[in-house]
Amino acid sequence: MKILTPSSEPLGPGSSVVTIGVYDGVHLGHQATLARVIAEAHAAGRHAVVATFDRHPTEVVRPDRTPLMLCSLDERLRRLELLGLDATMVIPFDEARAAESAEDFVKGLVVGHLGATRVVVGEDFRFGHGRRGDVSLLEQMGVQLGFSVEGVHLDSSQGEPISSTRIRAALAEGNVTEACRLLGRPHEVAGEVIHGDGRGGPELGYPTANVQVPAGMAIPKVGIYAGWYQDDGTPRHPAAISVGRRPMFYESADPLVEAHLVDFEGDLYGRAAKVSFLDHLRDEKRFDSVEALIEQMGRDVATTRDLCARHGAAAPPH
């Protein structure tokens, strides 16, 4: 997949079918729209192109309303490529872009740079300064500039549209199985494995990889989960995962993501790791003694081993 920016060489007039959006998470609803774009573009001998942004636009226009992101920009691009897109334009979203009119955005980027002959967006899509642009405006401009427009219904699940907002809400409740169902894969977080306080192995007997997840990324609510760990040197491996503040010893200001790799020995420090969540096992709690905590951790690991063995097909692809 080719990665474009507004300074890249234009694709040429009449060369592409374009969809526009943040596409955070690249969930099943997104995938349905993207599959339509790819099919229509390739049937017409054109490029299937996504125009997306380097950050969520609210980070600039309403920073107090910026949602937690389901995946990083790099992960978003990787998943778009896996779906078979020909190109993705990554548009830096800054104050100048936020002030740009919807009309100028369409003329300059969608038609002028990407050569759109067709634009496919969600029926509730809004864009441009003041969010004035919508499907109706696109249709009017399409008549003037020679492209067709399709406003698609969001795919639904259990009567509600599949959306990034809905997935974030499921994660906030610790409902990682619902998030998995809507994403089409387990939710995943990534970060460097850093040194913790060294208590997990020597004191508790269950060493953990402490994954430093960047600020602004969505993690499940505090609790204990079954899932997987992987990095460039470690194939996907069952892991009992704690998203917690460790109330047995002290209260961390922010939740920590710690993964105990089941039946594993090795040094993981400094690696770029990914942790994905299969199922919620229990809430975090303060135990009456360290011994009681260790006993519960043993049960958590046993449950994780069993769940990962039985649900291996649900594991995320590399």
Nearest to 84 by CA among 44, 47, 110, 45: 47
In sequence order, what DSSP letters do the residues of 94-150 get, joined into one string? -HHHHTS-HHHHIIIIIITTT-EEEEEEETT--BSGGG-B-HHHHHHHHHHHT-EEE
Long-range contacts of 153-158 (CB under 8 A, 24+ apart): 153/123, 154/29, 154/122, 154/123, 154/124, 155/28, 155/29, 155/32, 155/33, 157/28, 157/181, 157/182
> Tokens 């430093």 identify what position?
212
Q: For residues 279 and 129, what is the distance between their CA atoms, to the nearest angstrom?
A: 41
For 230, the enclosing helix (H) or strand (E) is strand 223-231
Q: Is 16 helix (H, G, I), strand (E, B) or coil?
A: strand
For the chain, percent helix, then strand, then coil, each to nearest 5? Answer: 30, 30, 40
C-alpha neighbours within 13 Å on the C-beta side of residue 287:
13
What's the rounded Cα separation, in Å, for the pair 89 and 114? Answer: 9
The tokens of 216 are what? 């602004």
For CA atoms 169, 174, 176, 177, give the dihedral sign.
negative
Give the span between the Cα atoms of 205 and 302, in whole angstroms.
14
Q: Which of 258, 265, 284, 295 is catalytic?
A: 258
Annotated active-site residue 258? The verdict is: yes
Task: Catalogue the active-site residues.
Answer: 258
